[in-house]
Amino acid sequence: MHKYFKIISWQFIIIVLVALSSFAQTSNTFNQRDDTFTLLGLKRAKADFEAVKAEYEREQELFNKGLVDKVALENVKNRYVYAEVNYQQSLLTVLFEDQYISITKAVKYQGEDGHKHARITFANTSGGSAEFQKLINVEDELFRSLQPDIIPNVYISILNDNQAIISQPYESKIPKLFYGKPVELDFVLLQDLDQVNVSMIYSNGVQRTMKIFLQKDESVDKVLVQSEQFSQEVDLGKSTSFDLTLELYSGSSNTFALEVVNLPKQIGRFFKAGQVRLTQVKFTESSRTKSAAIEISLPDRPSDKVVMDQPIPFYVLILPRDKAGQIKDFKSKIWTEEEIKALEVGYVKLELVPRGKGELLVKTPQLYHAIDADQSASIIMDLFNEGSDRLDNIEFKVDLPLNWTKEITPKSVTSLNIGEDIRTTMVVTPPTDVAAGKYNIRVRLSSMSNGLPVSAEDKTITIEVNSSTSIWGTLFILLLIGGLIFGVVMYGLKLSKK
């Protein structure tokens, strides 16, 4: 019995040694660099798996025929299971640890609603692709079950440099991104930028952010025009300017002409960039956005074409130079917006509202008056409206010395039309006990024009009051002088007789 047990023990030891030897043979193909070069490690694991699988199938046939025992079969089966697990782990490492999403195209354009849009194309460029499947000859059933060519639940947002979302919608979702089937998403840009940050979250929380430069949609072949001050009120006789931002969306043309339509001839206009006048603008590869302005000058007086308080809509057009030469009647007709759209050129609609404002001019022929204490000073003032709108409710404010009085004729001026004048008279009377001397009177005039206050230049009038003299005092002085002269004459006669 003891001898039989020894035989069994030796057989068990031999089987274990054989198993360990086989296990070592299966494992001796492992390379430490397989973790770095995962695709090569996958090829190695696949070759081991196929070899052990073939061996297991042979052992299974031999076992069914009774040529090998169950222990030998289980040994090969264990090595088969180990090789299968190793192969599957290598396969999962290649397929899922290297999932990758690329941005293949990003185009900025302006929609029909006038808002800027970004059209961005996303592609699944991970290692688990059809090309990869062909390279390693992975069996279709296992490959399809793992779905390596699909990246699920991709969330996309567009951010600025401050990490604020500037897109509408704020976040878009791609439920499944298939390899070889790029997906295009369209975002409305809430902030007009040429460089944006695209944030992507996919798979099991993988995050990736790319800063990209948005290409301009060159298919439209036009320059888009924008102006922040698209509507302005301007006084007659004054000038203003509308700022213009020009963005090139063209792959063929780079020189464009500037034109204005529907603006009356009485209104002066010219384009400028800084202090330089423009008629054309040229773009380069490094400068596809430019700033310009249109300077507008209104006439001094209203007319049938320039009516106060009535808006004047007009258009600024940016045309390719060859197209500008084909259209001859820019200024000879009134263009509708539909006609301008049919030209397929860049344009912006602007609006000008002429406003008038009266200007009160006061003319006084004489600013100095000399009167006696018992007299009054009559001051003439001519009021003239030299502005571009009617003056209403002209008021006089007179600063008089103490106890002086005034009388103005007419007492009030309710309105004064453009170019109209009116003469007013102000009679100023000093009090009875006024002292002799010079007195200053300040006259201020104010009015309203088109709801705005209007003031004239102040006038300062000097009145000199002469002192009153007694007739008896004057007579006494005359008699005194005459007596003095008579005494001198008589004294001279006496001296001559001696």
- Domain end, chosen from 40, 64, 96, is at 96
- Domain end, chosen from 314, 335, 355, is at 355
Residue 75 maps to a domain: yes
Q: Are residues 274 and 157 in the same domain?
A: no
Q: Are residues 240 and 315 in the same domain?
A: yes
Q: β-strands 101-110, 215-216: how paired?
A: parallel
Identify the pLDDT of residue 349.
92
Residue 307, number of CB atoms within 10 A of its CB? 12
Residue 454, number of CB atoms within 10 A of its CB? 20
Q: Which helix (H) or strand (E) holds 75?
A: helix 70-96
Q: Are residues 335 and 380 in the same domain?
A: no
Q: Are residues 64 and 121 in the same domain?
A: no
Residue 9 maps to a domain: no
> Hey, which bits of 145-194 come out as E strands?
150-159, 167-168, 172-178, 183-189
Q: Are residues 137 and 203 in the same domain?
A: yes
Angstrom distance (rounded) from CA 66 to CA 73: 11
Residue 403 maps to a domain: yes
- Token duo for residue 389: 């709108």
Residue 443, number of CB atoms within 10 A of its CB? 21
- Domain end, chosen from 72, 96, 120, is at 96
Q: Are residues 444 and 326 in the same domain?
A: no
Q: Which of 197, 31, 241 is nearest to 106 (CA)?
A: 197
Q: Are residues 136 and 50 in the same domain?
A: no
First to last CA, the chain: 206
Report how many domains make up the chain.
Answer: 4
Look up the CATH number of the domain holding residue 398.
2.60.40.10
Residue 315 maps to a domain: yes
Q: Are residues 225 and 347 in the same domain?
A: yes
What is the length of the chain? 498
Angle at 195 between CA 190 and CA 199, to 5 degrees: 75
Identify the pLDDT of residue 39.
63
Sequence-distant (≥ 6) Cβ neighbours of residue 293 within 8 angstroms:
241, 242, 243, 244, 271, 272, 273
Residue 175, number of CB atoms within 10 A of its CB? 9
The domain in which residue 34 lies consists of 16-96
CB of 22 within 8 A of CB of 79?
yes
Look up the CATH number of the domain holding residue 147.
2.60.40.150
Q: Which long-range contacts (CB under 8 A, 24 or more apart) does 103-106 make?
A: 103/198, 103/210, 103/212, 104/182, 105/184, 105/215, 106/198, 106/212, 106/213, 106/214, 106/215
Q: Are residues 232 and 157 in the same domain?
A: no
Sequence-distant (≥ 6) Cβ neighbours of residue 350 within 8 angstroms:
227, 230, 231, 242, 294, 313, 314, 315, 316
Identify the pLDDT of residue 468.
61
Angstrom distance (rounded) from CA 418 to CA 405: 32
Angstrom distance (rounded) from CA 344 to CA 330: 15
| Cα 56 to Cα 65, 73, 81, 90, distances in angstroms | 14, 7, 10, 21
Residue 241 maps to a domain: yes
CB of 163 within 8 A of CB of 118?
no
Q: Are residues 249 and 279 in the same domain?
A: yes
Residue 474 maps to a domain: no
Q: Per the omega criterion (within 30 degrees of 0), is the bond before 410 cis?
A: yes
Residue 487 maps to a domain: no
Q: Are residues 27 and 107 in the same domain?
A: no
Q: Are residues 160 and 261 in the same domain?
A: no
Angstrom distance (rounded) from CA 130 to CA 141: 14
Radius of gyration over every alpha carbon of the chain, rounded to an integer in angstroms: 51
Tens of each residue's pLDDT in the chain, 498 residues: 444 334 334 343 334 334 434 444 444 455 555 555 666 777 778 788 888 888 888 888 888 888 888 888 888 888 888 888 888 777 767 666 567 889 999 988 888 777 889 999 999 887 555 555 555 555 545 555 556 678 888 999 999 999 999 999 999 999 998 888 999 999 999 988 889 999 999 877 788 899 998 887 766 678 888 888 888 988 888 899 999 988 888 766 678 888 899 999 899 999 998 888 988 888 877 777 889 999 999 988 888 888 888 899 999 998 887 777 667 667 778 888 888 888 888 889 999 999 888 889 999 988 999 988 888 999 999 999 988 888 999 988 999 999 999 999 988 888 999 889 999 999 999 998 888 889 999 999 889 988 788 888 899 999 998 876 556 666 777 888 888 887 777 777 777 765
Sign, CA dihedral 471-474-476-479, equals negative
Residue 6 maps to a domain: no
